[in-house]
């Protein structure tokens, strides 16, 4: 570390933070990258870990492995305890980190909208640990159902409710129905496929609200063909681990509630003590991605709130975080060089969501696809975006294996 | 289940129990296979999971996937609560399982020889969960050392003591030294390789006591070349999580003690209420592998005690369990057919232990090898013995990757 070089601190090694670190790698700047995990997580494939298709190590990549190419980037495995924007420093796991520029890229956590019973009993799909837990839980439900003699209890063990009909909820439900259809019915002779019920509960009147109505209908058809029960205009209001209570007063006895119905900004947003969005607590930023009263502080990705030209909040998706990370690196270099920062404009390259074998929807600009072509496109795009050659080869191996063998290899219950 | 068919219960889906189940698959017998995990574990490679080289799913294989080929074999994920050899039944997770023949193949657990502080603070290498925990712990030690300012504390974080100089201890120590040498020194610029100390503490006067003295010396040279400190004729007497106390009154400050110094029979052995060996509590069996007073009950593998022709106890190794499993299946069929059971004779096909890249020892009958040929032989033998094509390809991929890239892919800290 050289005393007179500008210091940049980045909180979060997700899609956004990592992009900033890489773009500043090799520049005459001292960069400190802080994350509470020692790995970068490819969140779009978390649901495949949760449904026994992929190993944790296939979608997680050691941060040090990525940044050791850049001598000016230092990684710290630490949790941010406190931010002091006035003194330009933060405290992470007890250590003080001073900065000239700060990038807040800590992402989002599951949003339970204040329902404590949901926080206690549902399974969110936001972390590697949560995905492995959900896998263990789902497989345990089948094991317990196979040994259960009480019909009501058995039925609840075989009922899976997914809260949220966005891409995560739809993809998880689709992958779970495949796990049931092609694997579990071979493994459990005493469980009929028709005993297994999968629900998606969505508060809005349609699933996948971000895609064209044509594709929403295609997704709905593909879900129906797999026997997935979709409950629209319904919200989950409570869950005690046994009974899902809906806003329409209906109740579903279920041993599993997967929570994919919303996210809120990571805790660092509140710790910053700055302006936050009403919904989700995201940090309000100006178009250059700076905080209004702290021009040396940036926020990007899920934790940041910015509206597009039509006044709609930017979606909390990886492409937004990546593009914002690129711009923030450029803006930091511009500020150091005494130039004004540039404004962010999101380039929407499209939406992809997969429901199962040969079934997906894709919207790329004016092009809308559903079925096998969209499904194949989804595979290619996700393989290419994974970090690391080894992870790509490993995922390709597992997908090929699953496809030709009708198999899910990682059917392990690793917790007790 | 047909009422008049003989019923066989097998406790444990390790190398021995699984072999019995497969050999009885398709026969006119109802087989119930009980295990507390839903996977078969390839224990010989556990240490590679613990050193970030392999994923858990590469060495674990779902039991249901193996047995669903046999309609007469039923799997139960359950823990055995109680055995009633007089009434010919057992209770597993509350369910009663009656049998005509019982095979006890529950394996072994770490033996702490009554030292409770070791049980609380050391890391045994006997389960998948333990291996993942050890990986998390080792990687966390490096992270904490990088942030630690106190030199004594830092030194303890970088000191790793392995209790036990058998194959598990030697292989783990070798793999850890490779992890340090080829990966961690790139990742942690502030940690010098020479700060890291790895000890093996062995109670006997030599390492790998089961192989020829020539090979023991070769192993010793290979360990010395890697800077691993070997302390012979010394026992670990205590460990409070900070200080390893040896029988020679020496103390080693260390944040990590890996326990590979001995095993004892699984708890089912004591639950059976039958004769046990003094050392390790193994179930005493006659040469036909039956229990002396319960001819319808067999014990095999690590949980069983039988001596070879020269009066030495059979080693607790996978090949013994596999060969015993084959014989027990045959003996059960013989008893059903009214024939006398056969006696067990162990065919020792050799010993292999790897210390690192190009370094291993191998003893196959009169042939003794060390160095690259033994190492390559070790790779081939372990690949072939793994269950499942997918797992073999995945392990081959990770080994190839590690070999050519000097890399360990699974450097993830997945616990908090």
**Model confidence pLDDT, tens digit, residues A101-124:** 999 999 999 999 999 999 999 999
Q: For B186, which residue in chain A has the nearest alpha carbon?
A: A68
**Gap between the terminal Cα atoms of chain A:** 46
Residues B153 and B226 in one domain: yes
Query: Can B171 be counted among the known catalytic residues?
Result: yes
Phi and psi at B402, nearest 5°, equal -60, -40
User: Number of A:B CB contacts under 8 A?
Assistant: 113
- Order the strands of the A243-246 sheet from edge to edge: A236-239, A243-246, A251-253
Q: State which of B261, B283, B304 marks the end of a domain.
A: B261
Residue B193's pLDDT is 86
* Contact (CB, 8 A) for A238 and A115: yes
Residue A340's pLDDT is 98
How far does B126 lie from chain A, in Å, by closest CA? Answer: 14
Task: Please give the structure tokens belonging to residue A88.
Answer: 């330009």
Interface residue A350 vs chain B (CB under 8 A):
no
| Contacts by residues B93-100 (CB-CB < 8 Å, ≥ 24 positions apart) | B93/A147, B95/A147, B97/B9, B97/B32, B97/B34, B98/B7, B98/B9, B99/B7, B99/B8, B99/B9, B99/B32, B99/B296, B100/B6, B100/B7, B100/B8, B100/B296
Residues B102 and B136 in one domain: no
Query: pLDDT tens for residues A212-223?
Result: 999 999 999 999
Do the Cβ atoms of A410 and B143 come within 8 Å? Answer: no
Residue A128's pLDDT is 96
Contact list, B95 vs chain A (CB under 8 Å): 147
Q: Of B58, B171, B202, B363, which one is the catalytic site residue? A: B171
State pTM to two decimals. Answer: 0.94
CA distance A25 to A70: 5
* Contact (CB, 8 A) for B306 and B313: yes
Instruction: For chain A, give the percent of residues with pLDDT over 70.
Output: 99
* Contact (CB, 8 A) for A105 and A272: no
Residue A3's pLDDT is 65
Residue from B56, B62, B183 whose CB has the most chain A CBs within 10 Å, to mutate = B62
Residue B1's pLDDT is 53
Cβ neighbours for A151, distance < 8 A, ≥ 6 positions apart: none
**pLDDT greater than 70 at residue A366:** yes
Report the pLDDT averaged over residues A338-343.
98
Q: Which residue of A65, A398, A412 is in closest CB contact with B39?
A: A412
Q: For A54, which residue in chain B has the nearest alpha carbon?
A: B57
Question: Residue A148 belongs to a domain with what CATH number?
Answer: 3.50.50.100
Residue B409's pLDDT is 82
The residue behind tokens 């097998």 is B10
Residue A124's pLDDT is 96
**pLDDT greater than 70 at residue A390:** yes
Which of A210, A171, A231, A245 minimizes the C-alpha distance to A368?
Answer: A210
Does residue B345 lie within any of the structural domains? no
Which of A374, A414, A409, A406 minimizes the C-alpha distance to A186?
Answer: A406
Residue A217's pLDDT is 93
Range in A171-175, A183-187, A273-277, B8-12 the model is least confident about: A183-187
Residue A306's pLDDT is 97
Do the Cβ atoms of A411 and B77 come within 8 Å? Answer: no
Q: Which residue of A65, A189, A398 is in closest CB contact with B411?
A: A65
Task: Please give the structure tokens belonging to residue B230.
Answer: 């070997």
CA distance B20 to B103: 8
Does residue B287 lie within any of the structural domains? yes
Query: pLDDT tens for residues A280-296?
Result: 999 999 999 999 999 99
Do the Cβ atoms of B413 and A60 come within 8 Å? Answer: no
Positive or negative: CA dihedral B231, B232, B237, B241: positive
HEC string for chain B: CCCCCCEEEEECCCHHHHHHHHHHCCCCCEEEEEECCCEEECHHHHHHHHCCCCCHHHHEEEHHHHHCCCCCEEEEECCEEEEECCCCEEEECCEEEECCEEEECCCEEECCCCCHHHHHHCEECCCHHHHHHHHHHHHHHHHHHHHCCCHHHHHHHCEEEEECCCHHHHHHHHHHHHHHHHHHHHHCCCCCHHHCEEEEECCCCCCCCCCCHHHHHHHHHHHHHCCCEEECCCCEEEECCCEEEECCCCEEECCEEEECCCEEECCHHHHCCCCECCCCCCEECCCCCEECCEEEEEECHHHEECECCCCCECCCCHHHHHHHHHHHHHHHHHHHCCCCCCCCCCCCCCEEEEEECCEEEEEECCEEEECHHHHHHHHHHHHHHCCCHHHHHHHHHHHHHHHHHCCCCCCCCCCC
How far does B131 lie from chain A, in Å, by closest CA? Answer: 11
Does residue A146 lie within any of the structural domains? yes
Residues A162 and A96 in one domain: no
Residues B240 and B276 in one domain: no
Total tally of structural domains belonging to chain B: 2
Task: Please give the structure tokens belonging to residue B65.
Answer: 């996937």
Taking a contact as any Cβ pair under 8 Å apart, which residues of chain A between 32 and 91 contact chain B? 37-39, 55-58, 60, 62, 64-65, 68, 71, 76-78
Q: State which of B240, B261, B282 marks the end of a domain.
A: B261
* Contact (CB, 8 A) for B46 and B131: yes
More confident residue, B388 or A7: A7
Task: Please give the structure tokens belonging to residue A101.
Answer: 């520029």
Contact list, B149 vs chain A (CB under 8 Å): none
Do the Cβ atoms of B143 and A77 come within 8 Å? Answer: yes
Residues A187 and A268 in one domain: no
Residues A155 and A165 in one domain: yes
Does residue B371 lie within any of the structural domains? no
Q: For A93, which residue in chain B has the nearest alpha carbon?
A: B147
Contact list, B416 vs chain A (CB under 8 Å): 129
Q: Are strands B294-299 and A95-98 parallel, antiparallel or unpaired?
A: unpaired
Q: Which residue of A56, A187, A401 is in closest CB contact with B414?
A: A56
Residues A254 and A267 in one domain: no
CA distance B244 to B201: 10
Task: Please give the structure tokens belonging to residue B223.
Answer: 């360990």
Predicted confidence band of residue A2 (pLDDT cuts 50, 70, 90)? low
Look at chain A and count its residues.
416
Task: Please give the structure tokens belonging to residue B206.
Answer: 């030599």
**pLDDT greater than 70 at residue A416:** no
How far does B261 lie from chain A, in Å, by closest CA? Answer: 25
How far does B64 lie from chain A, in Å, by closest CA? Answer: 6
Predicted confidence band of residue A169 (pLDDT cuts 50, 70, 90)? very high
Domain range for B267 is: 7-36+78-110+263-336
Q: CA separation (Å) from B360 to A328, B59, B207, B363?
A: 51, 21, 13, 10
Q: Which residue of A147, A390, A416 is in closest CB contact with B76?
A: A147
CA distance A387 to A383: 9
**pLDDT greater than 80 at residue A308:** yes
* Contact (CB, 8 A) for B368 and B212: yes
Residue from A133, A187, A391, A415 whose CB has the most chain B CBs within 10 Å, to mutate = A187
Residues A164 and A286 in one domain: no
Q: Note the Cα B104 to chain centre separation in Å.
A: 17
Q: For B415, which residue in chain A has the nearest alpha carbon?
A: A129
Taking a contact as any Cβ pair under 8 Å apart, which residues of chain A between 287 and 316 contact chain B? none
CA distance A270 to A111: 14
* Contact (CB, 8 A) for B287 and B344: yes
How far does A277 lie from chain B, in Å, by closest CA? Answer: 30
Q: Of A171, A178, A202, A363, which one is the catalytic site residue? A: A171
Does residue B391 lie within any of the structural domains? no
Interface residue B284 vs chain A (CB under 8 A):
no
Task: Please give the structure tokens belonging to residue B317.
Answer: 């190794």
Residues A248 and A191 in one domain: yes
Which of B338, B230, B363, B342 minimizes the C-alpha distance to B289?
Answer: B342
Does residue B365 lie within any of the structural domains? no
Cβ neighbours for B30, distance < 8 A, ≥ 6 positions apart: B1, B2, B5, B6, B7, B8, B72, B74
Residue A386's pLDDT is 86
Does residue B415 lie within any of the structural domains? no
Q: For B67, which residue in chain A has the nearest alpha carbon?
A: A187
Residues B120 and B199 in one domain: yes
Which of B19, B115, B37, B124 minimizes the C-alpha distance to B77?
Answer: B37
- Residue B196 backbone class (left: φ over 0; alpha: ψ -120 to 50; beta: rest): beta
Residue from B30, B52, B77 whose CB has the most chain A CBs within 10 Å, to mutate = B77
Q: Tell me how crowded residue A150 is: count the other CB atoms within 10 A of its CB.
A: 9
Question: Residue A305 belongs to a domain with what CATH number?
Answer: 3.50.50.60
Residues B173 and B306 in one domain: no
Q: CA separation (Å) from A304 to A278, A284, A370?
A: 12, 6, 32
Contact list, B39 vs chain A (CB under 8 Å): 411-413
Residues B248 and B273 in one domain: no
Q: State which of A261, A278, A298 marks the end of a domain.
A: A261
Query: Which residues of chain B are modeled with pLDDT < 70?
Result: 1-3, 416
Does residue A393 lie within any of the structural domains? no
Report the pLDDT averaged over residues A232-243.
96
Instruction: For chain A, give the percent of residues with pLDDT over 90.
Output: 81
């Amino acid at each position: 570390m050289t005393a007179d070089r500008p210091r940049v601190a980045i909180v979060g090694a997700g899609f956004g933070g990592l992009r900033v670190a890489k773009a500043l790698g090799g520049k005459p700047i001292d960069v400190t990258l802080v994350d509470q995990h020692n790995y970068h997580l490819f969140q779009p494939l978390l649901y495949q870990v949760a449904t026994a298709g992929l190993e944790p190590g296939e979608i997680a990549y050691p941060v040090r492995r990525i940044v050791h190419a850049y001598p000016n980037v230092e990684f710290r495995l630490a949790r941010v305890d406190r931010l002091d924007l006035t003194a330009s420093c933060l405290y992470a796991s007890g250590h003080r980190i001073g900065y000239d520029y700060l990038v807040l890229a800590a992402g989002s956590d599951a949003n339970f909208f204040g329902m404590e019973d949901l926080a206690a009993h549902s399974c969110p799909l936001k972390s590697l640990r949560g995905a492995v837990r959900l896998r263990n839980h789902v497989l345990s439900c089948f094991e317990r159902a196979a040994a259960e003699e009480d019909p009501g209890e058995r039925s609840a063990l075989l009922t899976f409710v997914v809260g949220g009909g966005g891409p995560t909820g739809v993809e998880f439900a689709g992958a779970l129905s495949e796990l049931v259809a092609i694997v579990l019915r071979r493994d459990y002779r005493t469980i009929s496929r028709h005993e297994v019920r999968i629900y998606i509960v969505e508060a809005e009147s349609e699933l996948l609200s971000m895609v064209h109505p044509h594709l929403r209908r295609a997704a709905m058809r593909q879900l129906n063909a797999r026997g997935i029960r979709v409950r629209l205009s319904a919200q989950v209001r409570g869950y005690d681990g046994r009974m899902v209570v809906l806003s329409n007063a209906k109740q579903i006895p279920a041993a599993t509630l997967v929570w994919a119905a919303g996210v809120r900004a990571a805790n660092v947003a509140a710790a910053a003590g700055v302006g936050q969005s009403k919904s989700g607590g995201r940090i309000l930023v100006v178009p250059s991605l700076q905080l209004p009263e702290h021009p040396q502080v940036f926020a990007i990705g899920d934790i940041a709130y910015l509206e597009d030209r039509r006044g709609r909040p930017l979606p909390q998706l990886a492409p937004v975080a990546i593009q914002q990370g690129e711009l923030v690196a450029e803006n930091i270099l511009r500020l150091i060089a005494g130039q004004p920062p540039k404004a962010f404009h999101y380039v929407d390259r499209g939406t992809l969501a997969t429901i199962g074998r040969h079934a997906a929807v894709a919207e790329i600009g004016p092009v809308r696809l559903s079925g096998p072509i969209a499904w194949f496109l989804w595979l290619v795009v996700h393989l290419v975006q994974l970090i690391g050659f080894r992870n790509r080869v490993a995922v390709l191996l597992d997908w090929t294996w699953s496809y030709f063998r009708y198999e899910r290899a990682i059917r392990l219950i690793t917790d007790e």
